[in-house]
């Protein structure tokens, strides 16, 4: 998974924000598309694959939005705390868009007008905007006096000088005291990449269906998410921002679902359904699910909670599949201390569960005969994958 990240600087040269950009590959120098797919991809990758803290720390993130998100036809699956919503210059500003943006502002979201062009109709949003971005490379700078003067009539608006590629353009930003600056003369975009497993499209559709019920069945939703390791990891990463400063850390998929909340889970599932990417192989999923189920099956032997053992099995299995060390895996999730200790140090009740499963998978049968529990795990994992196929065909 990839996401582009270009710094936005203040007048002192400090990075105060990042614009998140769609990138289809690690060597892509431009977005290539600015549609709903691109927006959904950026959101999913930044928030659930990397984790927004990994991408931006505590800085703001500017994210391009298409009309569907601005009008509320597609809901935003994250809160307003760390994002600035960019209104693309291609969006036609009509009453429906203004109404949708007004609701977003009322909900606490900050709005930026991207590639602002005087007379395009986007000036109707000045009363709602927190930022106006001016293209000093290809934009018409002959109207800068007029545009800057209009912006200065709104004390809440900060001007972002963008596409700065020369010293002359940087000097122009200085001349007009533009508060923020962005462009190649300051910093090129960086493409961030992370190894990832994409949830199968069948399971996404199954989850969307379960979430769309008049009275969603929480247990069914937890079961669907829990039976798909990468989907479980995405829910965990989505819960990371919710868990920040929270006294209770996540120790099960169910707890993560409850913490994020069904409305946000529904929104993430809808965005995932927009991603036209292939899932991982069933063989990979079967291996991770079997490991997780085996952990669950033997958890009580060591006095551990079965659902917590299942989660530990998922995280350790996916980490091994991606060749990501346990210490790097646990940094991405708001995990309970017992799970962290088990994954990184092999200690505690959960650590004993993982060690027993590792030994069995490596052919070191030791003191425990796990053959029966292992066969149950294989049968359960196979049924879990087959269920998704039958659901999609129904």
Chain segment 183-206, per-residue pLDDT in tens:
999 988 887 765 555 556 556 656
Is the pLDDT at 30 greater than 60? The verdict is no
Q: Where are the CATH 3.20.20.450 domain residues in the chain? A: 2-193
Q: Is the pLDDT of residue 291 over 70?
A: yes
Q: Give the residue-averaged pLDDT of 284-313.
A: 86
Q: What is the DSSP letter of 302?
A: G
Residue 42 phi, psi (nearest 5): -60, -45
Strand segments (E) across the chain: 2-10, 15-21, 60-65, 83-87, 110-113, 131-135, 158-162, 180-181, 190-193
Q: Where in the chain is the domain with CATH 1.10.3210.10?
A: 201-393
Question: What fold does the segment set 2-193 form as a domain?
Answer: TIM Barrel (3.20.20)
pLDDT of residue 50: 64
Q: How confident is the model at residue 208 (pLDDT cuts 50, 70, 90)?
A: low
pLDDT at 390: 46
Q: What is the mean pLDDT of residues 158-169?
A: 94
DSSP 24: S
How confident is the prediction for the chain on average, in pLDDT? 80
pTM across the whole model: 0.63
In this prediction, residue 104 carries a pLDDT of 96
Tokens 């189920």 belong to residue: 293
Instruction: Please tell me the distance from the alpha carbon of residue 239 to that of residue 233, in angstroms, as a whole number.
Output: 10
DSSP 50: I
Collapsing DSSP to helix, strand or coil, 324 comes out as coil
**Is the pLDDT higher at 162 or at 328?**
162
DSSP state of 249: P
Euclidean distance between CA atoms 337 and 340, whole angstroms: 5
Could you tell me which of 292, 249, 257 has the C-alpha nearest to residue 381? 292
- Considering only CA atoms, which of 190, 210, 232 is closest in space to residue 56? 190
Instruction: State yes or no: pLDDT of 387 exceeds 80.
Output: no
Lowest average pLDDT, out of 24-38, 111-125, 140-154, 247-261, goes to 24-38
Q: Which residues contact 262 (CB under 8 A, 6 or more apart)?
A: 211, 216, 218, 221
Share of the chain above pLDDT 70, in %: 77
Average pLDDT rounded to a whole number, residues 308-325: 81
Judge whether residue 142 has pLDDT over 60: yes
Lowest-pLDDT range of 30-44, 268-282, 305-319, 378-392: 268-282
CA distances 76 to 84, 102, 366, Å, are 12, 14, 50
For residue 284, what are its two tokens?
A: 């990979």
Report the SS3 class of residue 335. Answer: strand
Q: How many whole angstroms from its chain centre is CA 10?
A: 26
Can you give the pLDDT at residue 343? 92
pLDDT band at 334 (very low <50, low <70, confident <90, very high): low
Q: Are 377 and 290 in contact (CB under 8 A)?
A: yes
Taking residues 165-170, report their average pLDDT.
93
The DSSP string of 102-130 is HHHHHTT-EEEETT--TTSSGGGGTTT-S
Helix (H) or strand (E) holding 272: helix 262-274
Mean pLDDT of all residues in 86-92: 91
pLDDT (0 to 100) of residue 206: 67
* Burial call 136-173: b when 16+ CB within 10 Å, e when fewer: beebeeeebeebbebbeeeeebbbbbbbbeeeebbebb
- Binned at pLDDT 50, 70 and 90, residue 277 comes out as very low
CATH number (1.10.8.60, 3.30.1360.40, 1.10.3210.10, 3.30.1370.60) of 201-393 reads: 1.10.3210.10
């Amino acid at each position: 998974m990839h996401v582009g990240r270009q710094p936005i600087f203040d007048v002192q040269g400090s990075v105060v924000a990042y614009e998140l950009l769609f990138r289809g590959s690690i060597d892509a120098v431009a977005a290539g598309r600015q549609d709903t797919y691109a927006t959904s991809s950026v959101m999913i990758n930044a928030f659930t694959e990397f984790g927004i803290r990994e991408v931006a720390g505590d800085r703001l993130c500017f994210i391009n939005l298409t009309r569907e998100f601005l009008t509320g036809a597609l809901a935003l699956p994250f809160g307003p705390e760390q994002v600035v919503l960019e209104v693309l210059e291609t969006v036609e500003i009509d009453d429906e868009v203004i109404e949708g943006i007004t609701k977003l502002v009322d909900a606490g979201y900050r709005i930026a007008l991207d590639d602002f062009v005087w007379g395009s109709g986007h000036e109707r949003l000045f009363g709602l905007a927190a930022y106006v971005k001016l293209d000093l490379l290809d934009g018409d700078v002959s109207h800068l006096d007029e545009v800057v003067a209009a912006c200065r009539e709104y004390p809440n608006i900060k001007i972002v000088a963008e596409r700065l590629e020369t010293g002359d353009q940087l000097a122009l930003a200085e001349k007009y005291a533009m508060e923020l600056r962005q462009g190649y003369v300051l910093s090129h975009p960086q493409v961030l990449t992370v190894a990832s497993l994409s949830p199968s499209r069948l399971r996404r559709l199954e989850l969307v269906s379960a979430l769309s019920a008049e009275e969603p069945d929480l247990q069914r939703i937890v079961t669907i998410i829990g039976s798909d390791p990468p989907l479980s990891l995405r829910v965990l990463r989505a819960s990371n921002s919710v868990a920040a400063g929270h006294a209770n850390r996540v120790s099960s998929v169910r707890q993560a679902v409850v913490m994020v909340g069904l409305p946000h889970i529904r929104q993430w599932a809808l965005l995932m359904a927009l991603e036209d990417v292939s899932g991982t192989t069933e063989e990979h999923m079967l291996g991770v699910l079997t490991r997780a189920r085996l952990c669950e099956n033997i958890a009580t032997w060591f006095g551990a909670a079965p659902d917590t053992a299942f989660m530990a099995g998922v995280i350790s299995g996916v980490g091994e599949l991606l060749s990501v060390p346990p210490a790097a895996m646990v940094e991405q999730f708001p995990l309970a201390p017992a799970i962290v200790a088990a994954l990184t140090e092999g200690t505690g009740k959960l650590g004993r569960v993982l060690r027993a499963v590792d030994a069995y998978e490596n052919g070191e049968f030791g003191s425990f005969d796990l053959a029966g529990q292992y066969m149950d795990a294989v049968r359960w994992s196979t049924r879990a994958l087959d269920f998704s196929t039958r659901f999609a065909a129904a």
